[in-house]
Amino acid sequence: MEKYFYKHMKALERQLKAFANKRRLAIVSYLKRRGQSSVGDIASGIKLSFKATSKHLVILYGADVLEKQQVSLTVLYALGQSQTAITKAIINVL
């Protein structure tokens, strides 16, 4: 039981840290409005470099906020389908 609680708390901490950045919030807001998008489209949409956008996407993906799909040479990101109540609440606010 204690191990489960610790694992759950670490996942929650990772998600909250992922949201604790205005650029990552902009990415989540963009994906909420536009749906599945490439790194280049997201970078252009939020006016951030491709490299910086890619780094932020990795953090959001690692926190299970986003899902990604490889289509040929393009990686497409979208909001994750299985999200915690807290993640859903934060996304709803954006």
Q: Where are the alpha helices (DSSP H) in 1-94?
A: 2-19, 22-34, 39-46, 50-62, 85-93
Cβ-contact 46, 53 below 8 angstroms? yes
Q: CATH number for the domain including 60?
A: 1.10.10.10
pTM above 0.85, yes or no: yes
What digits encode the pLDDT tens for the residues 34-59? 999 999 999 999 999 999 999 999 99
For 56, the token pair is 């932020």
Strand partners, 69: 76
What digits encode the pLDDT tens for the residues 1-10? 677 677 788 8
pLDDT value of residue 61: 96
| DSSP category for residue 94 | -
As a whole number, the mean pLDDT across the chain is: 92
Residues of the domain holding 36: 2-93
- Number of domains comprising the chain: 1
What digits encode the pLDDT tens for the residues 14-23? 999 999 999 9
